[in-house]
Structure 1
Amino acid sequence: MSNKIEKVAVIGAGSWGTALAIVLADNGHEVRLWGHKQEQIDEINSKHTNEKYLPGINLPEGITGIGSLTSVLQDVEIVVLAVPTKAIREVLGKVREFQSKPITIVHVSKGIEPDTLLRISEMIEQELPPAILKDIVVLSGPSHAEEVSLRHPTTVAVSSKNMDIANKVQDLFMNQHFRVYTNPDVIGVEIGGALKNIIALAAGISDGLGYGDNAKAALITRGLTEIARLGTKMGANPLTFLGLSGIGDLIVTCTSVHSRNWRAGNMLGKGMNLDEVLERMGMVVEGVRTTKAAYQLSEKYNVKMPITEALFGVLFNDNNPKDAVDQLMGRLKTHEMEDLTNELEV
């Protein structure tokens, strides 16, 4: 843990942004938490709670809710960006209008932008000019906001092109409950964090259909192969997918009721359509947009991603979930070791 007290802005007062604000406040930092709903900001400041996103959790005194982007960024050098992928350009566009001093962005969202096929760090680089954007750090790994807010043991990874700033962010967040590793593979950390949501949707569908642990274990294992297959084509280190932001994040997201993506998939498996699921969730399900982006990436890089392809059909072509799972099981036979070796040789 860093001995230096920092002013840190957290943009996004959802469950993950609030949980990370708790970690930072526990470490003694002055935390400003931005949200766009005034009643939520008032609740954070008067009751020290954020009941919609983290029910039953008391927030530390070191967290101040702020509804103005200009105010939340005043005299701040480190900004935690915790908004959904689809809101990143809008939020950073507003920041660009008034920000003049350089800031380091620590982004904690997990997604890929459809159509542009950009990773989040690439979106940030497009939206903020070099005069404003000092560095980008990715924070990712197996971490449910609900458990982090309860100070349950959690381990994540941070990655940046500038490892000095990655080390600084490691110190910023590190404490006895929240362990942080560094990893220089930005591409791998971002791809692992984004694509695991696709496999979690598929795992939820499998559970919703009433299939057991055997089917889910197969989805997780073959899902990891898909993630590594695409990630290495895009320039990632294959070993990253054996770490926290690969298999670690994949396991926790595919097996927990805390996972929005698993819960959404579970509802799909039980017969709801996508619109009904998203309305009932009431929160962003990143895996839906990421499935479209990953499907487009698989075509761009000519990479086999059968689980992603099957899920794309369920989400966007109204394919029957059971038929999609049956088609996956009925694919042509292949040799597992040969398949895995090919991924590592990419």
Structure 2
Amino acid sequence: MAVVTIIGAGAMGSALAIPLIDNGCTVKLWGTNLDQDIIKDLIEGKEHPKHKHKLPSEIEFYYADELEKAMFGSTHVILAITSDALGHVFEKVVPYLNNDMIIATVSKGFDTNKLGEIVILPEILKEKLTEQLSNIPIVVVGGPCKANEVIYRSPSNVVYACEDLNAAKNFKELISTDVYNVKVDTDVIGTEVSVAMKNAYAVALGFAEGFKQREGYTHNNTKSALFTVALEEMILLSEALGGKIKSVIGLPGAGDLEVTGEAGRNRLLGEVIGGGMTSFDALAKMKDEDITVEGYSAVNFGYRLSINLIEKGLLTKELPLLSALYKILYNNESCYASIKKVLNEYN
């Protein structure tokens, strides 16, 4: 039977233990330095603090200094770490890997490689692997999948993508259930661009919700238009990098953007700004409340990436909505005026 080590005891890492346990796998949940209180509660049989829900007693829980024990006998590894910490944490995992393992990552975002280039996260993982381990398959995960709903076993559909399709199929057999439905694909680039950029564009969908609060009436027309523009820009980014349209208009792109735009930290940031608070004040408020918004850094990475692609001739022009997001979040420009301009000029 498969032994799966999940790296990261946060919302999604802990949630994925559910379908694995349902399928009879041995599951080891390892917490980073930031997860120590979570691991303590779980060992004591308490609810997971983020889910307000108890996890199955069959799961083995490990503190940060117990990584070797957590990795012992592992056949599969799932990385559930925030994008900014993924490379650092993975370096600690690499010494315990072997060529018979398969790695999956649910982390979402971009990072900068050793050459200073903006790349998708699997490229960061590949950089950390030794030459002897360079053939370990890396599976990426995308789709409309809220962690708390995985805990509740709400019927969901996701995509597991890998250049090695057999590795994706292997993970599917391991984790797919009658409620956690897994599709497989080889489009790693399209999937990764989608899961990263949907966080950025979900901030824009939040703007429309904020306009409603500010003005007292709905802006569903605005939100739907922004959703459409966002998908078109995600397609352009994906194609420029070598990804496929089907991932963007499918579960990793359209599906995940829709659910992320309904609730969550990215939508909340947009909603606060759309409601009238300046972006700098909104970000300071969320920082004070210890709320990390991955869409904020995704906007920065995505915008810089788009400029690089224009310079290389792979994009013909700036992406208006992404550019507006960057100027709103990083230059404190007016949200309402910027979004109105984007939609005025959309064709």
Q: What is the TM-score when the length of structure 1 is the normalising length?
A: 0.89
C-alpha distance after superposition, 1:85-139 (max 9, x if no partner)? 000111012223x325233210001111256311011010011224235110011
1:62-141 matches, within 5 Å, as: 62-67=58-63, 68-96=66-94, 98-99=95-96, 101-102=98-99, 103-113=101-111, 116-133=117-134, 134-141=136-143
Query: Within 2, Cα distance between the matches of 1:316 and 1:223?
Result: 19
C-alpha distance after superposition, 1:36-58 (max 9, x if no partner)? 2433212111115211x112x12
Preserved contact between residue 269 and residue 283 of structure 2 (Cα < 8 Å):
no
1:182-193 matches, within 5 Å, as: 182-193=184-195
Partner AA of 1:264 in structure 2: L
1:279-298 matches, within 5 Å, as: 279=287, 282-298=290-306
Q: 3-state DSSP class of the match of 2:332?
A: coil
Match for residue 230 of structure 1 among 207, 228, 237? 237
Determine if the alignment matches structure 1 residue 18 to structure 2 residue 14: yes
Describe the shift of the 1:130–1:164 C-alpha distance in structure 2 as closer, same or farther (beyond 3 A): farther
How far 1:322 moved relative to its partner? 1.6
Query: Within 2, Cα distance between the matches of 1:177 and 1:280?
Result: 37
Instruction: Report what 1:244 is aligned to.
Output: 251
Aligned Cα RMSD in Å? 1.7
Q: 3-state DSSP class of the match of 2:78?
A: strand
Partner AA of 2:125 in structure 1: I
Determine if the alignment matches structure 1 residue 217 to structure 2 residue 219: no
Instruction: Report what 1:300 is aligned to.
Output: 308
Describe the shift of the 1:118–1:274 C-alpha distance in structure 2 as closer, same or farther (beyond 3 A): farther
- Is 13-22 or 99-108 further displaced after alignment? 99-108
Describe the shift of the 1:280–1:267 C-alpha distance in structure 2 as closer, same or farther (beyond 3 A): farther
Query: Within 2, Cα distance between the matches of 1:116 and 1:132?
Result: 23
Query: Within 1, Cα distance between the matches of 2:289 and 2:193?
Result: 24
- Is 191-200 or 60-69 further displaced after alignment? 60-69
Q: 3-state DSSP class of the match of 2:306?
A: helix
How far 1:189 moved relative to its partner? 0.7
Partner AA of 2:59 in structure 1: I
How far 1:277 moved relative to its partner? 4.2
Query: Within 2, Cα distance between the matches of 1:182 and 1:164?
Result: 9
Query: Within 2, Cα distance between the matches of 1:45 and 1:151?
Result: 22
Describe the shift of the 1:284–1:23 C-alpha distance in structure 2 as closer, same or farther (beyond 3 A): farther
Match for residue 40 of structure 1 among 35, 38, 41? 38
Q: Which runs of 5+ in 1 are unaligned?
A: 335-346
Q: Which runs of 5+ in 2 are unaligned?
A: 213-217
Preserved contact between residue 268 and residue 277 of structure 1 (Cα < 8 Å):
no
Query: Within 2, Cα distance between the matches of 1:48 and 1:27?
Result: 23
Preserved contact between residue 86 and residue 107 of structure 2 (Cα < 8 Å):
no
The alignment of Structure 1 onto Structure 2 pairs a total of residues equal to: 324
Preserved contact between residue 157 and residue 244 of structure 1 (Cα < 8 Å):
yes
Partner AA of 2:38 in structure 1: Q
Q: 3-state DSSP class of the match of 1:124?
A: helix
Query: Within 2, Cα distance between the matches of 1:277 and 1:202?
Result: 18
Query: Within 1, Cα distance between the matches of 2:70 and 2:11?
Result: 18
How far 1:78 moved relative to its partner? 0.8
Q: 3-state DSSP class of the match of 1:85?
A: coil
Match for residue 171 of structure 1 among 170, 173, 178? 173
Query: Within 2, Cα distance between the matches of 1:167 and 1:151?
Result: 21
Q: 3-state DSSP class of the match of 1:139?
A: strand
Preserved contact between residue 303 and residue 326 of structure 2 (Cα < 8 Å):
yes
Instruction: Report what 1:324 is aligned to.
Output: 338
Query: Within 2, Cα distance between the matches of 1:179 and 1:94?
Result: 31
Partner AA of 2:130 in structure 1: P
C-alpha distance after superposition, 1:149-176 (max 9, x if no partner)? 1111110000101111110101111101
Describe the shift of the 1:22–1:281 C-alpha distance in structure 2 as closer, same or farther (beyond 3 A): farther
Preserved contact between residue 48 and residue 60 of structure 1 (Cα < 8 Å):
no
Preserved contact between residue 11 and residue 147 of structure 2 (Cα < 8 Å):
yes
Query: Within 1, Cα distance between the matches of 2:30 and 2:271?
Result: 32
Query: Within 1, Cα distance between the matches of 2:160 and 2:269?
Result: 27
Preserved contact between residue 6 and residue 30 of structure 2 (Cα < 8 Å):
yes
Instruction: Report what 2:159 is aligned to.
Output: 157
How far 1:280 moved relative to its partner? 5.5
Q: What is the TM-score when the length of structure 2 is the normalising length?
A: 0.89
Preserved contact between residue 209 and residue 219 of structure 2 (Cα < 8 Å):
yes
Describe the shift of the 1:202–1:280 C-alpha distance in structure 2 as closer, same or farther (beyond 3 A): farther
Q: 3-state DSSP class of the match of 1:28?
A: coil
How far 1:327 moved relative to its partner? 2.1
Identity %: 30
Describe the shift of the 1:294–1:75 C-alpha distance in structure 2 as closer, same or farther (beyond 3 A): same
Determine if the alignment matches structure 1 residue 266 to structure 2 residue 264: no
